[in-house]
Amino acid sequence: MMIGLAHFVILSAILAAAGIAVMLTRRNALGILIGVELLLNAGGINFVAFNRLAHVGTAPDGAPLMDGVVFTFFIIVLAAAEAAVALAIFLNYYNTFRSIDVDRASELKG
């Protein structure tokens, strides 16, 4: 039995649904960040899966086409940068309010 495109799309849909469920049900800022990471990973799986489907073969110079893999690499870099910035914000928020409950964020004034 070969693993086809449908398997990757189903896995991506499960990850996306889990990410949305986590983002909607958690009040903890770190839980919401994990939900965002799950959504980004679901997108990365789709990029790689559809790259495999669309580019059967190689480029004119003989190299394999890696468009989806490159986009997925950018997603991973974006997720790492987003996590670093979000954790810095959460640490500052925790030092101010002694909680990372997102419902208390309305107390912040710009």
- Cα–Cα dist 29/31, whole Å: 5
Residue pLDDT tens, the chain, 110 long: 788 889 999 999 999 999 999 999 988 888 888 899 999 999 989 888 888 777 665 666 666 667 777 888 888 898 889 888 988 888 888 888 777 777 776 666 65
Q: How far is CA 99 from CA 32, 50, 53, 61, in A?
A: 14, 42, 46, 56
Helix ranges (H only) for the chain are 5-25, 29-54, 67-97
- pTM value is 0.74
- Cα–Cα dist 21/24, whole Å: 5
- Domain spans of the chain, in order of start: 5-99
- Cα–Cα dist 11/14, whole Å: 5
For domain 5-99, say whether CATH 1.10.10.10 is its number. Answer: no
Q: How far is CA 101 from CA 8, 18, 26, 36, 104, in A?
A: 34, 20, 9, 17, 6
Q: How far is C-alpha 8 from the chain's CA centre?
A: 15
